[in-house]
Structure 1
Amino acid sequence: MEVISLNYPLDLKKINIQPKVLALGFFDGVHLGHQAVIKQAVAIGQKRNLPVAVMTFDKYPGIVFRQIKDDQFDYLTTLSRKETLLRQLNVDIMYVVNFTSTVGHLAPQEFVDEYLVDLGAKVVVAGFDYTYGPKETANMSTLPSYARQRFDIITIPEQQKYTEKISSSAIRQVLAQGDVDRANDLLGYIYQTEGMVVHGEARGRTLGYPTANIKTTDGERLPAIGIYATEIWIQGRWYPSMTSVGRNVTFGDHRPVTVEVNIFDFHQDIYGENIKLRWNHWLRGEVKFTSAEALVEQLAKDQQNSLAYFNEH
């Protein structure tokens, strides 16, 4: 898959502008709703023998419009993760728009002419709620008037699960509740984050449950405080594990939130390693235990429940 950055004004001499099917959206999470858009674009591309491109943005547009502060928005997928997911969906080109105030204030006709027509779009596919300017005047219903029959338009209807709309905001909400099981159902795959193994307090080793402390990627959303059955990717392999997102309240109050992974049947030194974490299943909330012994007893149960989950799935 070719990845192309789009900076305004576009230099068409340096950009792939061959005829193509173009899927539009921010695609944070590349969830089942997004997948419906992309899979339709891929099917049309195969039928018409055209390459398929996806256009996304390098940042959440609401940050540029000051609807939310940069440090208050956590992404479901970093750009690199989004790239991986789009490649798995057989996308040929990933356009990444450098979303600035200038781009955000383009008139709808300018956006259509410069970002759709000039890039070679012959078919445009987007969700029913996609906008490219003020939602009252720049929506999928008004797109034909701007397209002027220069490309075909396919609108994908709302996708639902559990009788609710599948959306990035809905997934963020259930992650904030720790419900990774439901988030995974809405995503269509197991939620994943990245990070690096760093030194921690090494308390887990003294308890018989050594943990890898993870410095998570900035701007990437974590599930809520709690204990989870997880898988960790280290040196080219996935290992079953259990992960704590919490403040280690048993050992004191007002502690910072940490991410600590106990990897089953693993005894290597991995400080400094870049890792990936799959959040498979919610086990329980964080509990303040009366003693280290009570904590160790619970950790044994957590490990047993994690292994039972992996054996079943």
Structure 2
Amino acid sequence: MQVIYLDEPFNEKNVNSAPIVLALGFFDGVHLGHQQVIKKAKAEAKKRGLKLAVMTLDRHPSIVFQNVPQSSVRYLTPLKRKLELFVKLGADITYIVALNEKISSMGPQEFVDKYMAGLNAAAVVAGEDYTYGKKNVANMQTLTEYSKKRFEIITVPHLKKGGSKVGSTVIRKYIDAGEVENANKLLGYTYQNTGVVVHGKQRGRKLGFPTINLNISNSERIPSEAIYAVKVTIVGKTVLGMASIGRNETFGEGQKQTVEINLFDFSQMVYGEETVVQWYCKLREQQKFSDVQGLIRQLERDKENTINYFKEK
């Protein structure tokens, strides 16, 4: 897949010169609703014998339009992960637009002229709530006027499950509550984070449950503090494990939050390795134990429950 970054004013030589079908959206999570939009665009591209291009933004719209601090935004899919999912969905090109004041101050007609017609779109595909400016004047209904019949407009209705819209907002709520199984049903894949293995306090080793400690970027949304059944991909291997997101309160109050994973049947030294953890199921909430032996007994139950969970998958 070709990845093209666009900033104002963008160099037209960077743009694919042939007609394309263009899928539009921010696509945080690339969930089942987003996938429906991109798959519809892919089918249209195949029908027309054209390439599929996906256009997204380099940062969350709330940073520019709602003045949300960039440091406080937690993505379901950081850009690297988003691009991986676009590839799986058959995108030939991804345009990444720099969302800055030049774009946010742009009127809807100029945006359509440059970032739809100007990208040689033969057809534009987006969800029914897609906007490209103030939603009361720059929406899918008004796009007919701005397009001036230069391209076809295909609006994809909301995907609903259980009578409710599949959307990034509800998925974020599930992740924040640790309800990863519900989140995964709406994502259409298993939610994951990427981190680097760092040194911890090696308490798990002393308990008979050695762990890897992950440093995950603050820009990634991680599940709530709890114990989870996970799969971890590390040094080319995928292994089962149980993960703890918490503060180790059994060993004292006021400790920093950590992400620690006990990997089953794995004993390599992997400090500094990039690691992908997939969150399958919340086993239980965090709890403070009165003594270390109580913690060990619970960890043994957690391991048994994790193994049984994956046996039934």
- Name the TM-score, length of structure 1 as normaliser: 0.99
Query: Percent identity between the aligned chains?
Result: 48
Greater displacement, 295-304 / 64-73? 64-73
Q: Secondary structure at the match of 1:215?
A: strand
Q: Does 1:293 find its partner at 2:290?
A: no
Summarize the alignment of residues 1-313 of structure 1 with structure 2, pairs less than 5 Å apart: 1-313=1-313
Q: Distance in 1 between matches of 2:67 and 2:169?
A: 15
Q: Secondary structure at the match of 2:16?
A: coil
Q: Secondary structure at the match of 1:293?
A: helix
Q: Deviations over 1:28-83 (max 9, x none)?
A: 00000000000000001111101000000000011023442112210000111001
Q: CA deviation at 1:15?
A: 2.2
Q: Distance in 2 between matches of 1:154 and 1:303?
A: 49
Q: Deviations over 1:83-115 (max 9, x none)?
A: 100000011001100110110111000000000
Q: Is the 8 A contact 1:229 1:242 kept in 2?
A: yes
Q: Is the 8 A contact 1:245 1:258 kept in 2?
A: yes
Q: Deviations over 1:164-193 (max 9, x none)?
A: 111111111011111000000010000011
Q: Distance in 1 between matches of 2:60 and 2:212?
A: 31
Q: Distance in 1 between matches of 2:10 and 2:18?
A: 15
> RMSD over aligned Cα, in angstroms?
0.8
Q: Is the 8 A contact 1:17 1:118 kept in 2?
A: no
Q: Is the 8 A contact 1:243 1:259 kept in 2?
A: yes
Q: Distance in 2 between matches of 1:226 and 1:67?
A: 31
Q: Is the 8 A contact 2:31 2:187 kept in 1?
A: yes
Q: Secondary structure at the match of 2:119?
A: coil
Letter in 2 for 1:11: N
Letter in 2 for 1:229: A
Q: Distance in 2 between matches of 1:163 and 1:279?
A: 26
> Across the two proteins, how many residue pairs are aligned to each other?
313
Q: Distance in 2 between matches of 1:17 and 1:231?
A: 43
Q: Which stretches of structure 1, 4 residues or longer, exceed 6 Å deviation after superposition?
A: none
- 5+ residue gaps, structure 1, are none
Q: Deviations over 1:4-28 (max 9, x none)?
A: 0011111101222320000000000
Q: Secondary structure at the match of 1:309?
A: helix
Q: Secondary structure at the match of 1:281?
A: strand
Q: Distance in 1 between matches of 2:72 and 2:217?
A: 14
- Name the TM-score, length of structure 2 as normaliser: 0.99
Q: Is the 8 A contact 1:65 1:101 kept in 2?
A: no
Greater displacement, 148-157 / 65-74? 65-74
Q: Distance in 2 between matches of 1:113 and 1:17?
A: 15
Q: Is the 8 A contact 2:56 2:97 kept in 1?
A: yes
